[in-house]
Structure 1
Amino acid sequence: MISQNPLITLGSPYGIGYEIFLLTLQNTNLFSENKPFVIGSKQIMDFFQKLLDFKLNYLSVNIEEIDNIKNINLADYKFVLLDVANPQKEIKELNDITKYIDGEIAFKSIDIAADLVSKNYFKSIVTLPVSKENINLIDKTFMGHTEFFQKKWNEQKVFMTFVSSKLNMLLLTTHIPLKEVSNHITEELVESGIKASIELKNRLGLQKKIGFLGINPHSGENGLIGTEEIWIKDIIAKYSKDIDGPIPADTAFTSFNIKKYDIYITSYHDQGLIPFKMLAFDEGVNLSFGMKYIRTSVDHGTAVGLVGKKIAGLDSFINAYNVAVRLG
Structure 2
Amino acid sequence: MKEQSIKLGISIGDLNGIGGEIVMRTLEDALMLDLCTPVIFASAKTVTYILKHFELDLNFQGIKHASQAIDGKINVVNVWNENPSINFGKEDPEAGAYAIKSLKAAVEGLKNGDVDVLVTAPINKASIQAEDFKFPGHTDYLNQELEGNSLMFMVSEHLKVGLLTDHVPVSDISLSITADLIKKKFETIHQSLIQDFGVERPKIAFLGINPHVGDNGVIGKEDDTVLIPTLAELRSKGKITYGPYAADSFFGSGNYKNFDAIIAAYHDQGLIPFKTLAFGKGVNYTAGLNKVRTSPDHGTAFEIAGKGVADTGSFKEAVFMALDIYKKREEYAELTQNVLKKQPRKKQPGGRSRQKER
TM-score (norm 1): 0.88
Question: Would the aligned equivalents of 1:39 and 1:81 in 2 still touch at CA under 8 Å?
Answer: yes
| Equivalent AA in structure 2 for residue 168 of structure 1 | K
| 1:76-108 C-alpha deviation (Å, 9 max, x unpaired) | x4x00011124456x4x6359882331121001
Q: Which residue of 2 aligns with 1:36?
A: 38
Question: Would the aligned equivalents of 1:161 and 1:289 in 2 still touch at CA under 8 Å?
Answer: yes
Superposed counterparts of 1:99-110, under 5 Å: 99-110=92-103
Do the aligned partners of residues 96 and 232 (structure 1) sit closer, same or farther apart at CA in structure 2, a change above 3 Å counting?
A: closer
For residue 214 of structure 2, the aligned residue among 217, 220, 224 is 220
Superposed counterparts of 1:300-315, under 5 Å: 300-315=298-313
Superposed counterparts of 1:1-12, under 5 Å: 4-12=6-14
- 1:57 Cα deviation from its structure 2 partner: 1.5
- 1:27 Cα deviation from its structure 2 partner: 4.1
Please say which structure displays the higher CA radius of gyration.
2
| Equivalent AA in structure 1 for residue 212 of structure 2 | H
Do the aligned partners of residues 74 and 293 (structure 1) sit closer, same or farther apart at CA in structure 2, a change above 3 Å counting?
A: closer
| Equivalent AA in structure 2 for residue 34 of structure 1 | C
Do the aligned partners of residues 245 and 301 (structure 1) sit closer, same or farther apart at CA in structure 2, a change above 3 Å counting?
A: same
| 1:297-321 C-alpha deviation (Å, 9 max, x unpaired) | 1110111233343322122111111
Q: Secondary structure at the match of 1:60?
A: strand
| Equivalent AA in structure 2 for residue 200 of structure 1 | S
- 1:210 Cα deviation from its structure 2 partner: 1.6
Question: Would the aligned equivalents of 1:3 and 1:121 in 2 still touch at CA under 8 Å?
Answer: no
Q: Which residue of 2 aligns with 1:62?
A: 64
Unaligned runs of 5+ in 1: none
Superposed counterparts of 1:171-250, under 5 Å: 171-202=163-194, 203-206=196-199, 209-230=203-224, 231-240=226-235, 242-250=240-248
Question: Would the aligned equivalents of 2:150 and 2:289 in 1 still touch at CA under 8 Å?
Answer: yes
- Kindly indicate whether residue 153 of structure 2 is the aligned counterpart of residue 161 of structure 1: yes
Range 210-219 or range 302-311, more displaced: 302-311
Superposed counterparts of 1:285-324, under 5 Å: 285-324=283-322
Unaligned runs of 5+ in 2: 327-358
Q: Secondary structure at the match of 1:197?
A: helix
Q: Which residue of 1 aligns with 2:255?
A: 257
Do the aligned partners of residues 45 and 232 (structure 1) sit closer, same or farther apart at CA in structure 2, a change above 3 Å counting?
A: same
Distance 2:44 2:89 in 1: 15
Range 251-260 or range 140-149, more displaced: 251-260
Q: Secondary structure at the match of 2:63?
A: strand
Question: Would the aligned equivalents of 1:172 and 1:190 in 2 still touch at CA under 8 Å?
Answer: yes
- 1:139 Cα deviation from its structure 2 partner: 3.9
- 1:226 Cα deviation from its structure 2 partner: 1.9
| 1:35-78 C-alpha deviation (Å, 9 max, x unpaired) | 21111132221111111112322111124xx44x26xx655x4x
| Equivalent AA in structure 1 for residue 223 of structure 2 | E
Q: Secondary structure at the match of 1:134?
A: coil
Q: Which residue of 2 aligns with 1:51?
A: 53
- Kindly indicate whether residue 109 of structure 2 is the aligned counterpart of residue 111 of structure 1: no
Question: Would the aligned equivalents of 1:41 and 1:105 in 2 still touch at CA under 8 Å?
Answer: no
Q: Secondary structure at the match of 2:40?
A: strand
Do the aligned partners of residues 62 and 56 (structure 1) sit closer, same or farther apart at CA in structure 2, a change above 3 Å counting?
A: same
- 1:147 Cα deviation from its structure 2 partner: 0.4
Question: Would the aligned equivalents of 2:46 and 2:83 in 1 still touch at CA under 8 Å?
Answer: no
Do the aligned partners of residues 250 and 232 (structure 1) sit closer, same or farther apart at CA in structure 2, a change above 3 Å counting?
A: same
Range 32-41 or range 200-209, more displaced: 200-209
Do the aligned partners of residues 9 and 37 (structure 1) sit closer, same or farther apart at CA in structure 2, a change above 3 Å counting?
A: same
Q: Which residue of 2 aligns with 1:123?
A: 116
| 1:97-133 C-alpha deviation (Å, 9 max, x unpaired) | 8823311210011111111111121222110101121
| Equivalent AA in structure 2 for residue 246 of structure 1 | P
Q: Secondary structure at the match of 1:245?
A: strand
Provide the identity percentage: 33
Range 181-190 or range 236-245, more displaced: 236-245
Distance 2:262 2:216 in 1: 21
Distance 1:294 1:247 in 2: 30
Q: Which residue of 1 aligns with 2:352?
A: none
Q: Which residue of 1 aligns with 2:268?
A: 270
| Equivalent AA in structure 1 for residue 188 of structure 2 | A
Q: Which residue of 2 aligns with 1:85?
A: 80
Distance 1:133 1:97 in 2: 12
| Equivalent AA in structure 2 for residue 141 of structure 1 | K
Q: Secondary structure at the match of 1:94?
A: coil
Do the aligned partners of residues 293 and 95 (structure 1) sit closer, same or farther apart at CA in structure 2, a change above 3 Å counting?
A: closer
| Equivalent AA in structure 1 for residue 12 of structure 2 | L
TM-score (norm 2): 0.81
Question: Would the aligned equivalents of 1:41 and 1:84 in 2 still touch at CA under 8 Å?
Answer: yes
Distance 1:250 1:168 in 2: 17
Distance 2:121 2:173 in 1: 28
Give the length in aligned residue pairs. 317
| Equivalent AA in structure 2 for residue 217 of structure 1 | P
- Kindly indicate whether residue 15 of structure 2 is the aligned counterpart of residue 21 of structure 1: no
